[in-house]
Amino acid sequence: MVAINLKSYASRRFRAARSLAALFTVAFFSLGLVNPLFAEGPYLAPGKPDGIALLPPPPVSGSEEEAADLASARAVFVGRSATEEARAFKDASLSFSLFEPVIGPGFRLKSLPKTDALLQEIKAEIGRPIDIPKDYWKRRRPYQLDEHLSLKAPEPSFSYPSGHSTRGTVYSLVLAELFPEEKEAILRLGRDIGWDRVLIGKHFPTDVYAGRVLGKAIVRKLMANPAFQHDLANAKAEIRQADHKVSPQG
């Protein structure tokens, strides 16, 4: 009889412990105390995409092509308005919050931990594919060829391809996947982030065009990666759930 009672007592304690463990697991995930991304491995393979192989070389230093590129940069710089200049320096932050006005109130990353983790991982991984071709071609920036194009602090990296244009393209294409109803406005902002760099003398137009090509190549690699697709699906589900919570009840 005593043995039976002890066995029953142990069983109840085991069930209680299991329930408590499950409760802690739910609490950890709901509070964001664990990494909300579940897929293993990076999204991009080392050296992919290969910007050196993908992109044409920038105009040769001292060539007529470079002179034409500089003339275009100079015309855009001189023609900018005060409003455009202010927007360009704001966009230079590359903050994901830049997209909040075009996406709407549903884009609050503090309330979307899986979406935020996805975007932060992309932000971290695309640095090398951008830096490798920059460091290979070592193109000088417009203000280094014409001091009249100098505006505020100089940049620490080389000019080609434009990192802002690349990132603006990548961020906007991924966000358009997450918020397809605002696709056109998101993509337009992504293009503006790149072109704004010409407005303030930081890039040549050809740098921006190359950044768009590289950005699209990066997104193609992302889309072909199972880990990225897994986390993208989780982010989409999270956004749908958040939208359902804020939608008015009929």
- The reported pLDDT for the residue numbered 41 is 74
The single residue listed with the structure tokens 């993509």 is: 187
Mean pLDDT by 10 residues, the chain (250 residues): 48 49 43 52 94 98 98 98 98 97 94 97 98 98 98 96 98 98 98 98 98 98 98 97 64
pLDDT at 151: 96
DSSP state of 155: P
Nearest alpha-carbon partner for 73 in 167, 183, 200, 188: 200
As a CATH number, domain 39-246 is: 1.20.144.10
Tokens 């997209």 locate to 99
pLDDT of residue 205: 98
**CB atoms near residue 36 (< 10 Å):** 18
pLDDT of residue 32: 44
The per-residue pLDDT for 94 is 97
Closest CA to 53 of 223, 169, 162, 210: 210
Closest CA to 139 of 163, 123, 166: 163
Q: Is 80 left (phi over 0), alpha (psi -120 to 50) or beta?
A: beta
DSSP letter for 111, please.
G
81 DSSP assignment: -
Q: What is the pLDDT of residue 14?
A: 42
Supply φ then ψ for residue 104, to 5 degrees: 110, -175
Query: In the prediction, which pLDDT does 23 show?
Result: 44
How many degrees, rounded to 5, is the angle at CA 30 between CA 26 and CA 33?
95
Domain boundaries, the chain: 1-34, 39-246
